[in-house]
Amino acid sequence: MSDVFDKCSNWKDYRIAKATGLYPYFRSIEASHGATEVEIEGRRVIMVGSNNYLGLSADPRVKEAAIKAVEKFGTTCSGSRLLNGTLALHEELEAKLAKFLNRESALVISTGFQTNLALSSILGRHDIVFTDRQNHASLVDGIRLGFATERKFRHNDMEHLEQLLSAADPDAGKIIVTDGVFSMEGDICNLPRIAELAKQYNARVMTDDAHSMGVLGETGRGVPEYFGLEAETDLTMGTFSKSFASLGGVLAGPFEVINYMRHKARSVIFSASMTPASIAAVLKSLEIIEAEPQRRARLLDIAEKMHNGFRAMGFDTGVSVTPVVPVHIGDQVKCFRFWKALHEAGVFANPVIPPAVEAGHALIRTSFMATHTDAQLDRVLDTFEKIGRRMEVIPETRPTVYEPVKIARPGTGVRSNKASEKWAAGSVGQLADKGGLTLEQLSRMSSREVAGKIFDAVEHLTWRAANLQPADLRKLGGASKRLWEKRGELPGLLLEKGAHFFMRNGQDGTTTTTQAERN
Amino acid sequence: MSDVFDKCSNWKDYRIAKATGLYPYFRSIEASHGATEVEIEGRRVIMVGSNNYLGLSADPRVKEAAIKAVEKFGTTCSGSRLLNGTLALHEELEAKLAKFLNRESALVISTGFQTNLALSSILGRHDIVFTDRQNHASLVDGIRLGFATERKFRHNDMEHLEQLLSAADPDAGKIIVTDGVFSMEGDICNLPRIAELAKQYNARVMTDDAHSMGVLGETGRGVPEYFGLEAETDLTMGTFSKSFASLGGVLAGPFEVINYMRHKARSVIFSASMTPASIAAVLKSLEIIEAEPQRRARLLDIAEKMHNGFRAMGFDTGVSVTPVVPVHIGDQVKCFRFWKALHEAGVFANPVIPPAVEAGHALIRTSFMATHTDAQLDRVLDTFEKIGRRMEVIPETRPTVYEPVKIARPGTGVRSNKASEKWAAGSVGQLADKGGLTLEQLSRMSSREVAGKIFDAVEHLTWRAANLQPADLRKLGGASKRLWEKRGELPGLLLEKGAHFFMRNGQDGTTTTTQAERN
């Protein structure tokens, strides 16, 4: 005779972690000093484990707005948006977010988690949803709560996505759902290729821009703006607990779709609405995000500094090109030990272990705020270097060369990663060999189409980069060399050392024609 | 070729409701006057459509606590409880809630909705979950996200629950999940019988005390305390957007179970934590709930006044015995028209239509606050009477008699409903006839056992009361009369006009021996 509670009493991980002193969770913060430093167990530590990207949670203007809302409207709305929990403030926020995000309509929901659950309301029995295997848990659950058929594609694997799309019933309603920036490893979805495939297979596209809204794109609208593909992205969502210094989320898109979700999504109509303080904090943060682009610029400078700072020491920051900077450790226990050493040395970062990442790919996730000082960042780097050497994650002496990371700057959609020119060119050649595309065909494609294909190939290879052997490189064959030689003839395409490619965004972000530029 | 968005563009209900002027949702509140009155479209209306039961959302002490937390900790925690979003404040709140609720452990979650989703983490593939068909949407979704087999029992139908339990694999882990107070109709679950069945069939019990925590039970611990059955209720949950003037929820129970959920529930570990302001509001509200029992007493007085005020006019408030006072209208369009007339006359209440209630049972849901004044309440009653007569929901003249509702008072577990003495006694007799229980056997049972059986029968009949015909009453036969005659001999049992029965709670609420008292 078993008991529902048996699994709880039999669960050993917690006791083992506690007993070995390697328990890294639920660390209790006693005080905050401008959000970049916090007190834990009476000790002041540098916070590089937060999603407070723009540092607005401690901004006096944001605090003041929240306080005024409490004074005027109290501490709660005591009910759902549908019935008694809609304040004029909610509507003001929705109107301003719709405008900011360049969408017909926006819907504000009490948590980011529930914002993704709301997706379930449009997933009917005859629909098919195509979802990246590494999408956020709340998207996974939102899809499970819907009634559509689910088709998972391998992380950012566009060939796999295309296979699934081409195998699906052509008459079914389709939607491709992807994180914009993947939260644990900081890499970006291949939206250019997704947009192409969506068009080809008549699918809708939704991006989860939790980690990119306020951070990426010329005006901070997130990954769709970053790629100049807002018109191609039907629905976008963001969360307020990151750049917006609050709690909640937003779904934005066509009026009819948002209005339907407003009335049908269970996580909207059966849940109490955002508190007055939380709405007011988002309203003020949005105002600051629009007025102070220098925050985004500073954040991206910091991201670049940290990526390259870690890399110069010999650390591997993976495929990230965002302020989410994962420091790869590998072994899970070593990762916990690394975390503990950081904790003791006064650096607050987070261990990420399987199943959040693949087995053998445990990492320390760091993430940064526009308000971190260089002195704080240097202390963090210094601490990582000492521990990294002691624990033999990095060599005793710094490597002579490393693959630098170049971070996107507002105004350009820069995509950069550590794949070498060979991999990039080679993989386009590979596509040509496999898919019947010749170099001549490639040269007739629009720059965006080519960029999408390169992105796809680079992304795919980058994922395997850690394990890529010289033999693999050789297998790429002559195509890479030929493409590299002909790169000047391909319109709108720049291949350069490090496999960067550039797409400049147009003015309004929705009708952009991608153009390439030489750096 | 179809489109995921087709269902949105084809959706007509919204356009029809808007076109006919009968659209009752998302009414925008522009200002609040102590929460009991709000401004909508520039007009001041009385709010009787909120779950702010104790009126604490506008309490200056609660506001002050929220403001101080914003000043000290900012407007957000910028991350999940698991990683960087745990403040000492969260832990203080969990410790105080565990103590208040008389449980080993408590876990605070960002919304009440996500609190119920967390249930999914303990529902394994070999478990069976027995769930009331009218449970809250968030429990329904929490169960869908789990992996257990789901068995739905008819609303508060204990015979059906027993059928399902007895038909289930005896070796499976089992849990019975029920709302404490059902949110739309204000009735209470049959926890005495559920506890008996759980013991008999080796099942765990969880109650959703969203609408009873802070409201029912001697100290406001909710439905388990109300019945003196806290030891028999393994898990309890509550939400903060009702009596606690905030946003969020709590799960409380044995340490091992709560600790497991803390680490495994996706709605906990993948969602940003409660904001500092929201935690501080709950902490202060809890202090007030414990220090000011007069708020609960006033609320229950108000509930009784309103139930009986409506009933004296000829309205039907159904089976509710709580401050959720449903006014039954029947037809859906009539319900919308009634709602609109209320709205225009300055009363904010909510229409509840199928599928939230059964077809033909549309109702206006009113709910009350301890801070409503008698003058406000009288204006509400007066408005309902005028509209009710005009729309022929009630007769032109008040009925000469009506079934009064007696509301539970702190210190006694009073269960009252409109079933007559005949129905109550008769239905125990019915149980005796059917189940082989003789009056002699009944007289040897503990008072709680008898109370449970009566409750079951009364509840069952009450649900059918609206349609009960004299012929039905006759069918109950002689047993009722005999039981009524022997009522003095049954220990711990009081049957009186209106089929009230009383169970006095013991001192500590967990080891209570139920005793009866004459009123």
> Can you give the CATH number for the domain in which B238 is found?
3.40.640.10
Q: Searching chain B, which residue's CA lies closest to the CA of residue A67?
A: B67
Q: Are residues A95 and A193 in the same domain?
A: yes
Residue B186 contacts residue B321 (beta carbons within 8 Å):
yes
Are B47 and A84 in contact (CB < 8 Å)?
yes
Q: Is residue B52 part of a domain?
A: no
Are A27 and B84 in contact (CB < 8 Å)?
yes
Residue A384 contacts residue A355 (beta carbons within 8 Å):
no
Q: Are residues B177 and B213 in the same domain?
A: yes
The Cα A333–Cα A349 span in angstroms is: 16
Positive or negative, the Cα torsion across B480, B486, B488, B491? negative
Q: Is residue A327 part of a domain?
A: yes
Would you name the residues of B annotated as active-site residues? 183, 211, 242
Is residue A284 flagged as an active site residue? no
Q: Are residues B134 and B281 in the same domain?
A: yes
Q: Are residues B30 and B94 in the same domain?
A: no
Q: Are residues A372 and A415 in the same domain?
A: yes
Q: Is residue B22 part of a domain?
A: yes
Residues contacting residue A340 through CB under 8 Å, at least 6 positions apart:
A21, A22, A24
DSSP notation for B102-146: T-SEEEEES-HHHHHHGGGGG--TTEEEEEETT--HHHHHHHHHS
**Bond from prior residue into B395 cis (ω within 30 degrees of 0):** no
Q: Look at residue A237 and give its three-state secondary structure.
A: strand
Residue B108 contacts residue B94 (beta carbons within 8 Å):
yes
Residue A352 contacts residue A362 (beta carbons within 8 Å):
yes
Strands B127-132, B173-179: pairing kind: parallel
Taking the alpha carbons at both ends of chain B, their separation in whole angstroms is 70
Residue B197 contacts residue B178 (beta carbons within 8 Å):
no
Q: Which residues pair with A515 in a beta bridge?
A: A504
Q: Is residue A515 part of a domain?
A: no
Positive or negative, the Cα torsion across A495, A498, A504, A505? positive
Positive or negative, the Cα torsion across A318, A324, A328, A332? negative
Residue at which a domain ends, from A360, A391, A425? A425
Chain B residues touching A242 at Cβ < 8 A: 78
Residue at which a domain ends, from A291, A316, A332? A291
- pLDDT by residue for chain A (519 residues), tens only, comes to 899 999 999 999 999 999 999 999 999 999 999 999 999 999 999 999 999 999 999 999 999 999 999 999 999 999 999 999 999 999 999 999 999 999 999 999 999 999 999 999 999 999 999 999 999 999 999 999 999 999 999 999 999 999 999 999 999 999 999 999 999 999 999 999 999 999 999 999 999 999 999 999 989 999 999 989 999 999 999 999 999 999 999 999 999 999 999 999 999 999 999 999 999 999 999 999 999 999 999 999 999 999 999 999 999 999 999 999 999 999 999 999 999 999 999 999 999 998 888 889 999 999 999 999 999 999 999 999 999 999 999 999 999 999 898 886 654 333 333 333 333 333 444 444 444 344 555 555 544 455 455 544 443 333 222 223 333 333 433 444 444 455 444 433 333 322 222 222 222 222 222 222 222
Q: Is residue B56 part of a domain?
A: no
Burial class (CB in 10 A: 0-12, 13-18, 19+), B435: exposed
Q: Is residue A1 part of a domain?
A: no
Q: Are residues B19 and B84 in the same domain?
A: no
Select from B53, B75, B103 the residue whose CB has the most chain A CBs within 10 Å, as the one to mutate to test that interface.
B75
Q: Are residues B351 and B226 in the same domain?
A: no
Q: Are residues B469 and B411 in the same domain?
A: no
**The Cα angle at residue A474 between residues A472 and A479, in degrees rounded to 5:** 115
Long-range contacts of range A394-397, CB-CB < 8 Å, 24 or more positions apart?
A394/A313, A394/A314, A394/A315, A395/A314
Catalytic residue among A50, A57, A183, A427: A183
Q: Which residue, among B267, B287, B229, has the nearest Cα to B97 in the 3D structure?
A: B287
- Helix segments in A102-134, DSSP class H: 112-117
Residue at which a domain ends, from B399, B425, B451? B425
Domain that holds residue A494: 434-500
Element (H, E) at A473: helix A470-475
Tell me the pTM.
Answer: 0.82
Are B241 and A272 in contact (CB < 8 Å)?
yes
Q: Are residues B137 and B283 in the same domain?
A: yes
Amino acid identity of B411?
G
The Cα B368–Cα B322 span in angstroms is: 10
The two tokens of residue B119 are 């249930």
The two tokens of residue A313 are 């020491």
Residue B270 contacts residue B80 (beta carbons within 8 Å):
yes
Q: Are residues A107 and A196 in the same domain?
A: yes
CATH of the domain at B347: 3.90.1150.10
How many domains does the structure of chain B reveal?
A: 3
What does the longest C-alpha to C-alpha distance in chain A come to?
73
Is residue A446 flagged as an active site residue? no
Q: Are residues A75 and A138 in the same domain?
A: yes
Angle between helices A447-465 and A421-435 (to 10 degrees): 110
A/B interface, count of CB pairs below 8 Å: 336
The two tokens of residue A356 are 């959040």
Q: Are residues A70 and A14 in the same domain?
A: no
Q: Is residue A518 part of a domain?
A: no
Q: Is residue B238 part of a domain?
A: yes
Are B247 and A83 in contact (CB < 8 Å)?
no
Chain B residues touching A9 at Cβ < 8 A: 256
Amino acid identity of A445?
M
Q: Which residues pair with B153 in a beta bridge?
A: B132
Chain A residues touching B202 at Cβ < 8 A: 1, 3
